[in-house]
Amino acid sequence: MSKWPIGVFASIDAGLGVRLEVARELGVSTVHLHTPHRQSRTRERAAEFLQRLKDLGIAVTVVFAGFEGESYADIPTVTRTVGLAPPSTREARTAELKEIADFARQLGVQAVGLHLGFVPHDRTSADYEDVLRITRDVCDYLQRNGQALHLETGQEPADVLLGFLQDVGRDNLFINFDPANMILYGCGEPIPALRTLGKYVRSVHCKDATWSDQPGKTWGAETPLGQGDVDFAAYLRTLAEIGYEGPLTIEREIPQEPQRQKAEIAAAVEVLESLKRLEHNLA
């Protein structure tokens, strides 16, 4: 794979992102796949799906976990509903994550992405210990599958996330860096955060957003790429500095407006291609 192939966040029958046909029409050759419904995660469907990917000329580089009942409506709802962090669904979702990992393995995908949810802030609490325990359990399961776990950024400042990675202490635990999430959740400037987490970054999202007037309390707003507060020239320069050469995966979550979504992703491809050329000429 050449340096920085363009990617897009996609789904087949469930979850966020564009349909695969849209990726194909946009000439995008890699995707992060939001996990399909449980009933689709069978060996037969995996085989069918692999054939479809082959026909479309698309490679899945990360399978992103998603769970029933998750909602990104606002920050308090994310705290209550997203990822492995909410205690009431923790065990069931940990078990389901292993099923998702097995499905990813059937697709030949070596990375599973995850919004862990808000990590408990008190590092001495029993709840923090329990989140460490399940994260280690998941990492060890993935290790046996020959896979890595990529935690999505945004719900913690970079130094808190770094402390968590070190506390988990597993060498197949990495980061999916999303610069817009840092802004949306009010968790810090994305470029310094990328430097802090640099050696752990194994996949990235290219998403843009503007800051909230009450960072950390209310959402900022997601925008088309290039129209928000992420400096994408600096983003690519910093990715080059940290030695990241993997896909640049565009994420634009306006599934209710598929035409606009497709047009904005097409524009994002143009922005990234021209920044890639610039970066290539500087290098």
Q: Which residues contact 145 (CB under 8 A, 6 or more apart)?
A: 101, 102, 104, 105
Rank residues 178 and 264 by Cβ distance to Mg ion and give the closer one.
Answer: 178
Rank residues 156 and 178 by Cβ distance to Mg ion and give the closer one.
Answer: 178
Beta strands at 248-250 and 221-223: parallel, antiparallel or unpaired:
unpaired
Would you give the binding string for Mg ion spanning residues 245-264, x where CB under 5 A is met?
Answer: ------x-------------
Which helix (H) or strand (E) is 268 found in, with range?
Answer: helix 258-282
Would you give the binding string for Mg ion spanning residues 40-79, x where CB under 5 A is met?
Answer: ----------------------------------------
Q: What is the DSSP letter of 83?
A: S
- C-alpha span between 34 and 13 (Å, rounded): 9
Rank residues 46 and 84 by Cβ distance to Mg ion and give the closer one.
Answer: 84
Q: Identify whether the C-beta of residue 197 lies closer than 8 Å to the C-beta of residue 157.
A: no
The stretch among 14-22, 63-71, 155-163, 172-180 that binds Mg ion (CB under 5 A) is 172-180
**Nearest distance in Å: CB 225, Mg ion:** 12
What values do phi and psi take at 42, rounded to 5?
-115, 165
Q: Which of 70, 96, 156, 178 binds Mg ion (CB under 5 A)?
A: 178
What values do phi and psi take at 89, rounded to 5?
-110, 5
Q: By CB under 5 A, how many residues form the interface with Mg ion?
A: 3
**Closest to 148 (Cα-Cα) out of 138, 158, 156:** 138
Would you give the binding string for Mg ion spanning residues 196-225, x where CB under 5 A is met?
Answer: ---------x--------------------
- Asked if 150 touches Mg ion (CB under 5 A), the answer is no
Per CB under 5 A, contacts with Mg ion among 101-120 are none
Q: Identify whether the C-beta of residue 120 lies closer than 8 Å to the C-beta of residue 127.
A: yes
Kindly list the residues in this chain that would bind Mg ion in the complex (CB under 5 A): 178, 205, 251
